[in-house]
Amino acid sequence: MFLWLVVSSLVSEALALNNGLALTPPMGWLSWERFRCITDCQKYPQECISENLIKRTADIMISEGYLNAGYNYVGIDDCWLEKTRGPDGRMVPDRERFPSGMKALSDYIHERGLKFGMYQDYGNFTCAGYPGVLGNEKLDIDTFVEWEIDYLKLDGCYIQPTDMDAGYPQFGKMLNETGRPILYSCSWPAYQEDAKILPDYAAIAEHCNLWRNWDDIEDSWASMTKIMNWFGDNQDRLAEHAGPGHWNDPDMLLIGNFGLTVDQARVQMAVWSILAAPLLMSVDLATIKPEFKEILLNRDIIAIDQDVLGKQGLRIWKKTDAGPRKGLEIWKRELSDGSLAMAFVSQRDDGIPYAANFTFEEMQLANQAFDVQDLYKDESDKLLQANQEFEVRINPSGVKFYKFIPKN
């Protein structure tokens, strides 16, 4: 056992990207899901992709405690560029929306103790049609280094998915050669999965700190559960590739926007933390309602996501057919202190909170007693005796999220 541990840790060290970053899943804020490609600042001054939006977000991340809770990256997604490069071939940030330029914005972010994330695309164009990096890789990387960015999301529009196996590592090598540690987010497998090409996740984990596996998330329970179900259905070929420095990415948190109820938002926070997913908020922090803010700032759940063991959890039980436990599932993650995070999710959309019992076998627990703590703090702590059935009562499209601590 000991030898096996030593060997496997050597192997995973040798094969994983070694830039010292993302030892736990990245946390922060990213513009896309909420603000997309809103560029009309006359009409939508609070929402357009602009230095004002980024500065406002950075300020609130400090003043409202998001940075203290661990959300330290603030990132611009697509739609920050001018449609054409400058006469020197360089990327030009939109002159009206980023009048101070990217270095000044970067300084603003760094002065506040945050880190700066940016977006580009490996193809000829970004997904929204702005100039991509293809043919200008070196120049663009040098420009990003001059702007002192800390995180780069490299999208995969306007490039063949078959070219990505060579392209993404090549770009990563050029990033590494700059000597600046830049967290590298790859969209490589998402485009391959979409094209029905089986991604080489071992290679991806060797070159990227995180990678978007699949569909873009949309602001709805339907989209969120579709992604969650896909991660459960494909966990046998995904979960093993996650670990310190390299993570699967089911996409941004919808929490606080228009599409999820409070219960549904709690499901996303719980399941994303079981998945050791990056926690990237995409919400207007100036107007978020307190009940959603509270979910994003739940320290106990953030601690599950950020657990240093870095082991992605699994959907271990699921009931799809009829019967009293229809639509329920159990998601479980092993933690560094020997305890377990256990999310009991309901995808029922009928009626009321239903109660259900689960056996130790169904929960895949060792036959011993556990202290059980409710991570959303609705219930007081309880003791679960060995082999006793565990009763949970879950709201429709909701979750009960517990920490099971083995009792000595």
Ligand X SMILES: *[C@@H]1O[C@H](CO)[C@@H](O)[C@H](O)[C@H]1NC(C)=O
Which amino acid is residue 254, in one-letter code?
L
**Closest CB to ligand X among 36 and 180?**
180
Site string for ligand X, 210-249 (x = CB under 6 A): ----------------------------------------
- Closest by Cα among 48, 227, 251 to 155: 251
**Closest CB to ligand X among 56 and 180?**
180
Q: Examine residue 170 and tell whether it contacts ligand X (CB under 6 A).
A: no
Which amino acid is residue 10, in one-letter code?
L
Q: Examine residue 181 and tell whether it contacts ligand X (CB under 6 A).
A: yes
For 8, other C-beta atoms within 10 Å of its C-beta total 10
Q: 184 forms bridges with which residues in the sheet?
A: 152
Q: Examine residue 9 and tell whether it contacts ligand X (CB under 6 A).
A: no
* Lookup result for tokens 């009562």: 393
- Closest by Cα among 62, 69, 74 to 30: 74
Sole binder of ligand X in the list 86, 87, 179, 323 (CB under 6 A): 179
C-beta separation of 260 from 297 below 8 A: no
Two tokens at 20?
Answer: 């010292």
Q: Examine residue 176 and tell whether it contacts ligand X (CB under 6 A).
A: yes
Instruction: Please list every residue from 336 through 355 that binds ligand X, using CB under 6 A.
Output: 355
Catalytic positions: 155, 216
The CA-based angle 336-337-341, given to 5 degrees, is: 75
SS3 of 46, please? coil
Instruction: Please list every residue from 100 through 129 that binds ligand X, using CB under 6 A.
Output: 123-124
**Closest CB to ligand X among 284 and 374?**
374
Q: Examine residue 357 and tell whether it contacts ligand X (CB under 6 A).
A: yes
> By CB under 6 A, which span of 66-74, 138-146, 174-182, 263-271 interacts with ligand X?
174-182
Half-sphere exposure of 223 (CA within 13 A, CB side): 17
**Closest CB to ligand X among 146 and 391?**
391
Half-sphere exposure of 72 (CA within 13 A, CB side): 17
Two tokens at 181?
Answer: 């540690």
**Closest CB to ligand X among 181 and 396?**
181
> What does the DSSP assignment read for 52-89?
HHHHHHHHHHHHTTHHHHT--EEE--S--B-SS--TTS
- State in angstroms the smallest separation of the CB of 25 from ligand X: 18
Q: Examine residue 356 and tell whether it contacts ligand X (CB under 6 A).
A: yes
- State in angstroms the smallest separation of the CB of 149 from ligand X: 13
Q: Examine residue 364 and tell whether it contacts ligand X (CB under 6 A).
A: no
- Residue showing the smallest CB distance to ligand X in the complex: 19
- State in angstroms the smallest separation of the CB of 256 from ligand X: 33
Instruction: Please list every residue from 14 through 33 that binds ligand X, using CB under 6 A.
Output: 18-20
Q: Examine residue 296 and tell whether it contacts ligand X (CB under 6 A).
A: no
DSSP secondary structure code for residue 322 in this structure: S
Q: Which stretches does DSSP call E strand in 190-286?
A: 210-212, 247-249, 279-281
Site string for ligand X, 304-333 (x = CB under 6 A): ------------------------------
Q: Which residues bind ligand X (CB under 6 A)?
A: 18-20, 123-124, 134, 158-160, 176, 179-181, 355-357, 389, 391
